[in-house]
Amino acid sequence: MKSIAFMNLKKIGGGSSANHKNLVEDIEENKESIIKEIEIIKPDLVIGCGIYNYWDLFYKDINFEKSVYDNSIATYNKMMIIDYLLFFFLITDKSIYSL
């Protein structure tokens, strides 16, 4: 694996938490810049963290499947995308060992 992107989609101020509606609006507003950021990095693996899966805002035809570790995993344009629930929201025995 040559490149991993671990990025924060929250590009707005306000601390470590965000209102879901405001975050969706911000993602929609900055969608092209975020996609460009991913294209520049050209990652083999992208890890998204949070409570919600926002990937369908970027890639309409993306299809996630649940892994045996309770994470959602998709492959899109040769990138593996793992939507990983942040540990402080929910910890399961399986997710502790998933990465």
Kindly report the average pLDDT of the chain as a whole number.
77
- 80 neighbors 46 (Cβ within 8 angstroms): yes
Domain total of the chain? 1
User: Is the pLDDT confidence value at 82 over 80?
Assistant: yes
C-alpha to C-alpha distance for 47 and 75, rounded to whole angstroms = 12
User: Is the pLDDT confidence value at 92 over 60?
Assistant: no
Q: pLDDT at position 96, please?
A: 52
User: Is the pLDDT confidence value at 99 over 60?
Assistant: no
User: Is the pLDDT confidence value at 24 over 80?
Assistant: yes
Supply the range of the domain harboring residue 48.
4-96
User: Is the pLDDT confidence value at 85 over 70?
Assistant: no
Q: Is the pTM of this model over 0.75?
A: no
